[in-house]
A and B are shown apart, each in its own frame.
Chain A
């Protein structure tokens, strides 16, 4: 049985298919058709809804003191993920006849044309309004880049984001979610309390299919040991595709999202320890602090909706050859803590990937933690870690090639080199010949040339619809040149979205509500 709030209404569901996605639940089970299906693969955002959940230690608030709002793709979210949370859909924003600022702004700015993507945009805007007090342009792009619109060209939607804040702040009228916050908090806390009494039985079961939501690592470990064929649901943004795209049944699901210990993020003097179930959006801050380029990479990692659900553990666990985090983590010499029943071991991430979708993970074994060494803090310069993601579209696209570079250079010589690529082989892995060409060599152009040619010994990429093998190899080699320029001449603009080229971090433009269409054709021509 799962219990959650459908907006403010307590919903108890016992006999629904554990493989059902929230989108289908809304449309077919509750008759709420405001949320749309555009692709059923988490790539268009038409199905965006917002989850409200109690803050935990890793959120900005005290544990259980606040409601944290996250936009997610309902088409990729198993219903069991709703357990203990508040589900907010586009139908819930309006108060009587009064549209919510996220809605009114879209109307006022002409942000809705065909209207099919609109509920998704409204929900992403709503979440943005809840999470950012005073967003800059980059924040707005971040919030909305997982929502596709085919009609507007987006300008009016960006304007709507600005206008929403004016509507939010100018009358200074809290919306119903703020007004009723204490009440909803209490409802969520009650659900949490009640959940502690829950047995270890499957939370949902129908026919052969069942879902477990363990609450502690020990519970998870014993469950998984007992059900080694179960699939671990760590966000599920990839796993769900097996259901929605490939129409497979998943018999046993074990959700790891309720295991608090797996969501912890700890930073010590020497290590960043990331719980395997910590959402990517929460790993962002600690990783960016030490490795700014990791942050830049995470910005381009799918969409905010996916990052709100997806986890580092999941990104590693599913062992995709084009997962974005593994090459970066390998280049940083990250390791992972694995657990099986009561036994634990820690291995280097680079040893985890064996062959296409084959890993060192044993049956019943799961990832507990990802451990990333801290950046060396005694130097004045920023970390030499760089990641280069290449895709057909800059935002929300799967990498054709992802290269990550982490060289230690002293007195003009390359001391150590960790270079890892995704998209060039069946698994993410290090470019050992390329590294060997550099280690001990002087840090100059001819060493780069040498390293470039060594890459051919490391990889023999494939051609597919994302890119040809020749393109993959050439861009991988070119990354070395970029890395050389970036380390040696930091003043040179090297990326199309470099600050020297585009300033995304400017504060919000003055109100675009004043910026009515520039045409005067209407008035003056109709006499």
Chain B
């Protein structure tokens, strides 16, 4: 007979009821569409962001004055006028930083405040702290600054030509691409500019520093990388890391922009707080944020490709030049990732890929969702279209001819491998593609999106519409998951169970809206078999989990989820051992199920069992740690397994363009995306949809414009246009791949989801080009740089019209 161990028989359910409950599935564990843990607070305005925190009576607000030239020597920097404004507490320049001035994340080169030389338009020069932000700004603008201007390099082409680099080029090589190109049946080559992208997190960079005893500092920040903030603040103040505590509850969006570049404002606030002894907050106004911080790297890519009559690539030569801005930041890894992804989903044959890290006098470009991947990955998609036009084939067919073989032994047409398909499963950096799902995903999407029928409908539409033209494109994504800086693939977590059974969870990841906290809590809920609501996640804090990696590279749930799972396992094992001992049963007879603990014939609610464990002196707290196994990359030979696994996706987009203006609209998008076994389908779909729209924005309306002085002109949402609600596809159909667990031992066999679907937006770019190509009966591939703004589309339309005019003129002569 099963016994209840309750001390309070009147207040708890009876044994039968508990047994009945324990037989049911946990409703809020892994795989459920649990709602975002902060949603209710966010919709009611209760969720606290850094700028919403209560202020202190002696609070200071800081404002940073930015340079207004791109490259110069500072010959005069007089801050005395700043002090004439009432309410000013302090003005700091480079010489006032007590510790290390450089805040470069991986390599030096980024002074917190300009130290004699200006290297970009918008570089921080000085910080004023005052009673409010407006006073600080007025005072900062009163400083007198004189420059001696120097020649600036503003274009990536010039930097490439002059070999003006932030670090050395790197090359991937397989076979002899020159020979392959020479022997190819067909060849094409072109140069393409791929535009950058402003993160446009809705919450701008913000940090608030509060001095503590011992010369330390508590820093509340909006950052994807609290440990980075801790290190940079400690160095700037000249104190050891253990004096600095960084607290990060949530960001109002990050997208990579708060991985390293949150450090500047945090250090400014901390230096002011340290020098004045007063709590100091700095929140960048939108314009200053956009001028001062880096963006997605613009790239200038040059390629030559050889292919056979089917359009299958045999030789591939690609030069990728990333515009890194004035400092290295994370550019090495970003250009690497562009190189790693310039195959996207295709076997390249003999290939030479060279990545250049160009230095320009612009803000130091930084991480942005996809981390260079998109700028590389778009290239083969452009090439597939070019090949298709040249051969007069449907681009989808060319793509299929080039896909890597699948895990089930099929080729891109999802047919059994023929002799000509053998060995097409290794990347140009010599990692085997072992789990490719794309052939079957292509087949499914081709069917579910009615690709061929719509292709015909579009031809009909275009034939009968003089002004509007429609386009269609189906493109894949294969994205490598892991930090390519291998050591970063580690994470920690901390779990406390309190004696009422409630659980406190911390991990090293940060919540920026992506639902990481929700997923990690679901993992812990699943492990302990308790309701999601039992678990409380508080701010990510360097006191709780030390030496963390950034929440980046889509790795948040993979790494921190595993670390939390490991912490849970440790406690769970103690609990199971205890229960076995206590109830005199074997460990196999102890089971946690839906908020209850069963031990042989005994059953009791989780909370009571925890209390029992506590009375029996069982430790209810544990850390957890995880490192990704099996990955390595040898830079010398440019080969290895930099990625633990790949995530896959495919999108089919239809657009309509206006041939009189170049304007367009996304009419329909069908997406199928692979997240392994989803930890939370609603959150994953939210990531896929959001990434797609953001990716489409990158390639359409989001245009960064600088003037010839290196000044960014698009410094706010009035001039920089991210998608609005009217820009989402009119008909939007998103589906996760079913029944395909991650074959690797990831947390509950899920896959990372943050970045991969971003590149599904490339289908929109290709669909726009498809619509333009219709003007020349799909025989000419439009040459168009990204983003495809209406203006660029119109010029491509004009080029298409004049080339057909020329052709028909030629035809007339013949």
Interface set of A (CB-CB < 8 Å, partner B): 28, 32-41, 43-44, 46, 89-91, 93-94, 99, 102-104, 106-108, 110, 112-119, 122, 140-141, 144-145, 147-158, 245, 247, 388, 390-398, 400, 464-468, 471, 474-475, 478-479, 481-482, 485, 492-498, 501-502, 516-526
Contacts and interface: CB of A to CB of B under 8 A. Distances in A.
Contacts, number: 315
Contacts of A465: 703, 705, 713-714, 719
B755 interface: no
A116 B203 contact: yes
A290 B727 CA distance: 29
Interface string B420-456: 0000000000000000000000000000000000000
A242 B22 CA distance: 64
Nearest to A160: B43
Contact of B682 (A110, A481, A501): A110
B693 A153 contact: yes
Interface string B706-738: 000000011011110111111110101011111
A114 B200 CA distance: 12
Name, among A36, A141, A485, A522, the residue most crowded by chain B CB atoms within 10 Å (CB to CB): A522
16 contacts: A33-B52, A34-B44, A36-B49, A40-B285, A115-B43, A145-B726, A148-B202, A151-B513, A154-B723, A156-B686, A245-B716, A465-B705, A467-B791, A475-B794, A517-B736, A521-B681
Contacts of B137: 247
Contact of B701 (A102, A110, A158, A393): A393
A114 B253 contact: yes
Contacts of A155: 689, 728, 732, 734
A114 B45 contact: no
Name, among A106, A394, A520, the residue most crowded by chain B CB atoms within 10 Å (CB to CB): A394
B602 interface: no
B676 interface: yes
A525 B678 contact: yes
A112 B45 contact: no
B466 interface: yes
A110 B44 contact: no
Contacts of A106: 39, 43
- Across the A-B interface, give the 5 residue pairs with the lowest CB-CB distance, nearest first: A34-B45, A114-B513, A116-B252, A115-B42, A522-B31
B467 interface: yes
B45 A90 contact: yes
B660 A395 contact: no
A110 B721 contact: no
Interface stretch (B212-220, B618-626, B662-670): B662-670
Contacts of A478: 660-661
A493 B737 contact: no
B690 A151 contact: yes
Contact of B790 (A41, A104, A392): A392
Nearest to B791: A471
B678 A493 contact: no
B174 interface: no
Nearest to A388: B661
A396 B682 CA distance: 29
A144 B725 contact: yes
Interface in B481-505: none
B724 A145 contact: yes
A394 B663 contact: yes
Interface string B448-481: 0000000000000000011110000000000000
Interface in B681-696: 681-686, 689-694
Name, among B36, B45, B515, B732, the residue most crowded by chain A CB atoms within 10 Å (CB to CB): B45
A107 B39 contact: yes
B252 A115 contact: yes
A367 B254 CA distance: 46
Contacts of B727: 393-395
Given A247-B137, A465-B719, A153 B42 contact: no
A117 B721 contact: no
B617 interface: no
B251 A153 contact: no
Contacts of A114: 201-203, 250-254, 512-513
Contacts of B146: none
A501 B664 CA distance: 11
B208 interface: no
Contacts of B791: 392, 400, 467-468, 471
A141 B726 contact: yes
Interface of B: 30-33, 35-36, 38-49, 51-52, 132, 134, 137-138, 199-204, 250-255, 285-287, 465-468, 512-515, 656-658, 660-665, 667, 675-686, 689-694, 701, 703, 705, 713-714, 716-719, 721-728, 730, 732, 734-741, 748-749, 789-791, 794-795, 798
A467 to B, nearest CB: 6
A140 B250 CA distance: 29
A147 B202 CA distance: 11
A526 B252 contact: no
A366 B679 CA distance: 62
Contact of B690 (A99, A107, A153, A392): A153
Contact of A501 (B132, B656, B726): B656
Contacts of A247: 134, 137-138
A37 B51 CA distance: 10
Given A151-B513, A517-B682, 6 more contacts: A37-B51, A39-B717, A115-B47, A153-B692, A520-B739, A524-B739
B717 A43 contact: yes
Contacts of B679: 522
Contact of A33 (B45, B663, B790): B45
Contacts of A43: 716-718
B737 A521 contact: yes
A237 B662 CA distance: 29
Given A99-B40, A496-B664, A502-B730, A39 B35 contact: no
Given A33-B52, A141-B726, A496-B656, A113 B663 contact: no
Contacts of A467: 791
Contacts of B49: 36, 116
B518 to A, nearest CB: 10
B45 A89 contact: yes
Name, among B137, B677, B680, B692, the residue most crowded by chain A CB atoms within 10 Å (CB to CB): B677
Contacts of B664: 496
A157 B466 CA distance: 35
Nearest to B515: A113
A50 B137 CA distance: 30
A287 B506 CA distance: 58
Contacts of A156: 686, 689
Contacts of B662: 475
A519 B685 contact: yes
Contacts of B254: 114
A496 B468 contact: yes
Given A390-B790, A479-B660, A517-B681, A498 B287 contact: no
B663 A46 contact: no
Contacts of A147: 725
A93 B44 contact: yes
B31 A525 contact: yes
Nearest to A472: B791
Contact of A393 (B132, B657, B721, B728): B721
B82 to A, nearest CB: 15
Contacts of A35: 45
A496 B739 contact: no
Given A150-B253, A390-B790, A41 B657 contact: no
A155 B32 CA distance: 20
Contacts of A44: 202, 717
B467 A113 contact: no
Name, among B685, B694, B717, the residue most crowded by chain A CB atoms within 10 Å (CB to CB): B717
Contact of B685 (A32, A38, A517, A525): A517
Contacts of B678: 519, 521-522, 525
A467 B254 CA distance: 29
A170 B658 CA distance: 43
Nearest to B690: A153
